[in-house]
């Protein structure tokens, strides 16, 4: 079983797609790593030799920021934006879209489900006598 940076790579997948299970490694970076180490893209993760796994581990840890370190850096960047009071920091703090998307009709992923009371906010309540 190939384990890189604390992540178990799926055994049945090709190595070019298996490496993308690491946070911070996409398909392009995966292919760059494999080209540098002269490993065939079609090789399955279960078919890797111990030397190839060790070479992959060494390459990823020494030349790329992945997993925990990358997550910490992203969190620190967002916290810095919030601390200095920038517009982007305020948007992060309020859980709203950060990159200029519209929020009147869309942005449900970021804002969450609709609030129940906001639909009929101006409707008068009928009172029974």
pLDDT along the chain (129 residues), means of 10: 88 93 94 94 92 93 92 96 95 93 90 76 68
DSSP state of 10: P
Give the per-residue pLDDT at 120.
59
Give the per-residue pLDDT at 122.
61
Residue that terminates a domain, selected from 46, 63, 80: 63
Q: Do 85 and 101 sit in the same domain of this protein?
A: yes
Q: Do 49 and 95 sit in the same domain of this protein?
A: no
Write out the residue range of the structural domain in which residue 93 sits.
69-129
CATH number of residue 56's parent domain:
1.10.8.50
Q: Do 51 and 94 sit in the same domain of this protein?
A: no
Q: 34: buried, middle or exposed (CB in 10 Å: 19+, 13-18, 0-12)?
A: buried
Q: Do 37 and 89 sit in the same domain of this protein?
A: no
Tokens of 99: 């990159």
Residue that terminates a domain, selected from 25, 45, 63: 63
How many domains does the chain fold into?
2
**Cβ(28)–Cβ(76) under 8 Å?**
no
pTM strictly above 0.85? no
> Which letter, b or e, does each residue of 46-69 get, where b requires 16 or more Cβ atoms within 10 Å of its Cβ?
eebeeebbebbeebbeeebebbee
Give the per-residue pLDDT at 116.
77
Tokens of 6: 């604390």
Give the per-residue pLDDT at 114.
86
């Amino acid at each position: 079983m190939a384990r890189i940076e604390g992540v178990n790579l799926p055994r049945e997948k090709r190595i070019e797609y298996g490496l993308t299970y690491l946070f911070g490694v996409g398909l392009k970076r995966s292919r760059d790593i494999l080209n540098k180490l002269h490993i065939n893209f079609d090789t399955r993760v279960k078919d890797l030799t111990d030397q190839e796994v060790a070479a992959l581990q060494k390459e990823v840890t020494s030349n790329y920021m992945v997993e925990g370190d990358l997550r910490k850096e992203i969190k620190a960047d967002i916290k810095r934006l919030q601390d200095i009071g920038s517009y982007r920091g305020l948007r992060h703090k309020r859980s709203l879209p950060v990159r200029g998307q519209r929020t009147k009709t869309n942005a449900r992923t970021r804002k969450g489900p609709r609030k129940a009371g906001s639909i009929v906010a101006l409707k008068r309540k009928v009172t029974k006598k």
